[in-house]
Amino acid sequence: MSDYVDISQVPVTPPPAPAQPDASTGTWRIDCGRDQQGIHNSDNLVGDPGDPGGAHHFHDYVGNVSVSARSTNQSLAAAATTCPDGDRSAYYWPVLRVPGPGGPPGLDDAADHNVGQILVPSSVLLEYRGSPVSSVVPMPEFLRATTGNAHGFTAGGVNTDHVQWSCSGARDRVARQYPRCGPGQQVVRIFDMPSCWNGRSTDSADHRMHLVFPDSTGACPNDTFPVPQLHMEISYSVPPGADYAIDSFPEEQHSPISDHGDYIEVMPDSLMAQVVSCINSGRRCGS
């Protein structure tokens, strides 16, 4: 199957199930920029803590500006941030490139087959959402979250369901492949983080079991608690006809199903309380 698809050939996405009476329908948006500063590294503090260069591909970062494989909770809490209101959370994902020559010095890695011009996002939407069946509770500070699978191609698509692609002029269609968008449209990457917390730990051995996804109705598994769900949309102005691709491990061959996003919650408790109150009261808020 080709890695690319004409977005007009993708079926329209069915509407979501209606919210239940006890749903938390509010949203909180936060503007942390779009990595205009070019903050990149090939570490992954969530997936490979303590292993510099362990990702073998570069990430874009917004929010906390200090994230590296050797970061600690203490260093994250003391760092500068691109977000307002003291939100030092880390939001990151693999860079998107137009493969070929022209990448910045030090950010091409021919040995890992990640070369070419890194595309700066045109916009980055960070939105916290509620649960369609209940209210939400605050996330604990330093909660780690990951969505997608950096090894999604070689793993046969395991853990890749919550990362999708679309076009700015066709948001009713989402794809698992890189979309070919219509003239003047932007490519949009969509990441949804898990939102059912075990109530005990901020991380786990596989970096997934402590924070899992709700079922198809939006309900969390027994013995877990619904927390705000982070929804991220990263938009790009891709050169017409370009065979753009994400950075990846070499064996993943830049496959779109190896896309992934990561997050570490480092909000002040007072800000997290505002986020939860806004979502549970059904308001549209932001900072």
DSSP per position, the chain: --SEEEGGGSPPPPPPPPPPTT----EEE------TT--EES--TTTSTT-TTTTSS-EEEEEBS---TT--HHHHHHS-BSSSTT---EEEEE-EEE-SS-PPTTS-BGGGTB-SEEPPPSEEEEEEE--SSS---PPPTT-EEEEE-TTTTTTTTTT-TTEEEEETT-TT--BSSEEEPPTTPPEEEEEE---EE-SS-S--TTSSTTEE---TTSPPPTT-EE-PEEEEEEEE-PPTT---EE---GGGTT-GGG-EEEEE----HHHHHHHHHHHHTT-EEE-
List pLDDT tens digits, range 241-270.
899 999 999 999 999 999 999 999 999 999
If one compares 276 and 18, the residue with the highest pLDDT of the two is 276
Q: Residue range 279-285: average pLDDT?
A: 98
Confidence (pLDDT) at 111: 64
| Residues 263, 138 contacting (CB under 8 angstroms) | no
What is the per-residue pLDDT across 114-172, written as a single tens digit (0 to 9) for each?
989 999 999 999 999 999 999 999 999 999 999 999 999 999 999 999 999 999 999 99
Q: Is the pLDDT of residue 179 over 90?
A: yes
User: What is the pLDDT averaged over residues 34-47?
Assistant: 95
What is the arithmetic mean of pLDDT over 13-28?
A: 93
Residue (of 36, 259, 61) closest to 165 by Cα position:
259
Closest CA to 69 of 98, 90, 100, 99: 90
| pLDDT tens digits, 71-130 | 999 999 999 999 999 999 999 999 999 987 766 666 777 667 898 999 999 999 999 999
- According to DSSP, the residues that pair with 246 across neighbouring strands are 96
Mean pLDDT of 270-279: 98
Mean pLDDT taken over the chain: 95
